[in-house]
Structure 1
Amino acid sequence: MRLYLLALNPTDAVTEGFLPAAARLGLDVTVLTDQPDAHRRIYPETEVLECDVRDFRAVITRISTHHRPDAVFTNSDHLQTQAALAAAYFDLPGKDWRATLRCKDKAEMRRRLSAAGVDTVWSAELTEPAALDAPYPCVVKPREGVASEDVVLVDGPEDLMTRSKEILERRPGSVLVVEEYLPGELFTLETLGDGNVRHVLGGFHTELSPPPYFIEERLTFVPAHPEPVVEQVLAQLDALGVGFGACHTEFVVHEGRARIIEVNYRAIGDQCDLLLARLLRIPLFEHILRTHLGEPLPADLGARRDGAARLEYPCADRAGTLVDAPRSTDLDVDGVRLTYRPLRSVGERHELYMTNRDYLGVLRATGPDQRTVDRVVAEFLAERQWEIQP
């Protein structure tokens, strides 16, 4: 069976998750990407074809002139609609392209949730800097952005004018969304569905950097959110038409009310997916691929709920060259399994981005209870250093 996997830059999810899972399923994989050399360097044994994957017409043409497809899949935020349209063209299982578009376009997501009567958030779109009469503080962000890139809290019209001008200079031709700030604790909900059955895999409690930025610095696994919270989030996902394959939803809870911040219609990223598969002890990546092959999910995934987990992302606090940092490490300490992977090489120079691009590495930890996991993680981080010189 032939799987076409759409990708932009190489990611850990594809390299360590989906490609090994496809091999275990016995699938022939063809990667379609606009960055073929980068992918061939990482997995030279996999067929990689150059394609303008942002254009669904180019994707359909590339597939139709190659081998017959059995599945078209992507884990990229930017390519969900293209993959959904290509799958529909070839009469293959896939996500509803309208749902993928609603999730990717943050302004359309707000309109859809409001029209469905499940949540209304004040929002507006900007194509040029402007000082709006808005319910400040507000959040300004790219309409189709990801990973906290150019997401910032503004406290008044002048601040909005300044920030929107800066972002649009970095992103000419982009559209910005300005929306009211939603107070509350930030969480995620991880779901997996086949169009009929939907499993809730749990979620994470996310700790952010101080305002005005929204860098995810720490995530702690939550085996089960309160049922009323889950029901509210699922109702909003239903309004968006989300229910097939993996979905990563970010939401806040304030005084018992759950309100979606954004929906990433794919598996959770930044190595959380790798941790989730280990923690729950399920073939998560295989399950995701099977749904795109048209196979139903089991009524019970057999996921374990008795473990604890945490992820830490050491971040750069200044611009400069990384001159000292821990190497890739795997350890078992007091029943806690630690996996550290560097995300920036020693010798690299970077500016300070105030986004997830400031991550220096990621530490994944799973263990029997949260107190032990937290202690072991704190000790690991305290014993290591990341040195940046101007």
Structure 2
Amino acid sequence: MRLYLTALKPTDSVTYGFLPAARALGCEVTVLTDRPERHPGSVRCDVRDPRALIDAIEHLGRPDAIFSNSDHLQAETALAASYFGLPGKDWRACLAAKNKFLMRRGLAAAGVETVRSLRLAPADPVPERLPRPVVLKPREGVASEDVVLVEDDLPRAVAAARRRRPGETLVVEEYLEGPLRTLETLGDGAATRVLGGFATTLGPLPHFVEERLDWAPAADAHVLAALRALGAGFGACHTEYVLTPDGPRIVEVNYRAIGDHCDFLLADVLGVPLFEWILRTHLGDPAPEPPSASRHGCAVSVVADRPGVVKDGPPEEDVEDGGVRLWHRPLRAVGDVIELTHTNRDYLGVIRAVGPDRARVDAAVERYRAARPWVVG
């Protein structure tokens, strides 16, 4: 079987998740990327252009599957898969999920939910009489970059965002207050399986930095209805939503697997070959029914709280503590210069932990952090 994987920058999800899974499934894998110097053995291609992608694949050899886990390449990859008659996502659903303005319009038109939202193109004036507070965000942003809660001076916040992101369209939305949750799903085009979900702990407002995710399985009917309305029923999908006093409301739909090592955590908690499961749907297999999880898991991001230089930090390691298994993945190195961005770019490392229950997992994580601190000075 021949599988083409489209990618931009290298990610742990691809390097340590999807590529080994593809090899385990017996696939001959070709990575197509615009950064071949960063992907050993890859083929250069303008992966943001579906015409170039289709042309490259036809030249290299007919595919059995075309796949991407990149936020930025879902629509292009879906168009290529459709061209070759392969299982894949609807490119329109990919576009609607990525574009937060289209997502809001799609959910409102389907009668799923209405969240006040306004699109601001680069030259658009800033409205003066919007109810506060609001959330300002890039229309197609990732990693909480330039997502900020605005309680008073919206024109000032918009001007600051436009300086950082010239030429980009922004979205202003009503602030959804309540606990933040995720729903992780896997679909095959006919059925959508709920794999589980997480409760998200955010850092201090006005920014929205995810500091911790804890296993909190749920099968929220509202979220599943939203995914159906958008047509997001194939492959992996990571949806974030808020439990507001008026019921669940969607924050964003990420039409790919959950990131920041929570994909590995999801596999650990369920005890399944998650990356293989995802790839198998793109090879035409039905999505399997996930097992019930009897363990607790969490992913804790160690976030820099000050600018400076990394003086010390724990290595990459896998340890056992009181029946809890912990993995630490450093995201920075000694000597790195830290400039706070108030996004997940401020992560120093991530700790993944799985154990019999939350109390023991929490205790093991605290012991690990106390014994192996990150030092920025």
Q: Name the TM-score class by shorter chain.
A: over 0.9
Match of 1:141 among 114, 132, 137: 137
Identity %: 58
Residue of structure 1 equivalent to 2:329: 341
Q: Secondary structure at the match of 1:77?
A: coil
Match of 1:330 among 315, 318, 333: 318
**Residue 273 (structure 2) pairs with residue 283 (structure 1):** yes
Q: Secondary structure at the match of 2:260?
A: coil
Q: What is the one-letter code of the residue matched to 1:354?
A: H
CA displacement at 1:388 relative to structure 2 = 1.5
> Does the 8 Å contact 1:207/1:219 carry over to 2?
yes
CA displacement at 1:297 relative to structure 2 = 2.4
CA offsets, 1:270-296, max 9 Å, x none?
Answer: 000011112111111111101111112
Residue of structure 1 equivalent to 2:158: 164
Residue of structure 2 equivalent to 1:178: 172
CA displacement at 1:85 relative to structure 2 = 0.4
Residue of structure 2 equivalent to 1:44: none
Residue of structure 2 equivalent to 1:62: 56
RMSD of the alignment, in Å?
A: 1.2
Q: What is the one-letter code of the residue matched to 2:166?
A: P
Q: What is the one-letter code of the residue matched to 2:23?
A: A
CA displacement at 1:54 relative to structure 2 = 1.1
**Residue 244 (structure 2) pairs with residue 238 (structure 1):** no
Match of 2:240 among 250, 263, 267: 250
CA displacement at 1:127 relative to structure 2 = 2.3
Separation of aligned partners in 1, 2:206 and 2:103 = 23
Q: What is the one-letter code of the residue matched to 2:282?
A: H
CA offsets, 1:175-205, max 9 Å, x none?
Answer: 0000000111000000001011211111000
**Residue 377 (structure 2) pairs with residue 381 (structure 1):** no
Q: What is the one-letter code of the residue matched to 1:11?
A: T
Residue of structure 2 equivalent to 1:43: none
CA displacement at 1:386 relative to structure 2 = 1.6
Residue of structure 1 equivalent to 2:194: 200
CA displacement at 1:232 relative to structure 2 = 1.0
**Residue 94 (structure 2) pairs with residue 80 (structure 1):** no
> Does the 8 Å contact 1:74/1:83 carry over to 2?
yes
Match of 1:259 among 239, 249, 273: 249
Q: Secondary structure at the match of 1:314?
A: strand
The TM-score normalised by the length of structure 2 is 0.97
Separation of aligned partners in 2, 1:374 and 1:137 = 34
Match of 1:351 among 339, 342, 348: 339
CA displacement at 1:319 relative to structure 2 = 1.6
The TM-score normalised by the length of structure 1 is 0.94
CA offsets, 1:23-55, max 9 Å, x none?
Answer: 100100000111111111xxxxxx401111111
Residue of structure 1 equivalent to 2:39: 39
Q: What is the one-letter code of the residue matched to 1:195?
A: G
**Residue 138 (structure 2) pairs with residue 150 (structure 1):** no
CA displacement at 1:256 relative to structure 2 = 6.3
Separation of aligned partners in 1, 2:8 and 2:161 = 23
Q: Secondary structure at the match of 2:286?
A: coil
Separation of aligned partners in 2, 1:384 and 1:17 = 26
Off by >6 Å, runs of 4+ in structure 1: none
Q: What is the one-letter code of the residue matched to 1:140?
A: L
**Residue 111 (structure 2) pairs with residue 123 (structure 1):** no
CA offsets, 1:124-167, max 9 Å, x none?
Answer: 111246244212100000000011011000012xx221222122
Residue of structure 2 equivalent to 1:101: 95
Q: How many residues align?
A: 375
Match of 1:297 among 272, 287, 292: 287
Separation of aligned partners in 2, 1:160 and 1:294 = 48
CA offsets, 1:203-230, max 9 Å, x none?
Answer: 00000011100000011001x32x5xx1
Separation of aligned partners in 2, 1:256 and 1:332 = 42
Q: Secondary structure at the match of 1:136?
A: coil
Separation of aligned partners in 2, 1:61 and 1:266 = 24
Structure 1 portions without partners, runs of 5+: 41-46
Separation of aligned partners in 1, 2:196 and 2:21 = 22
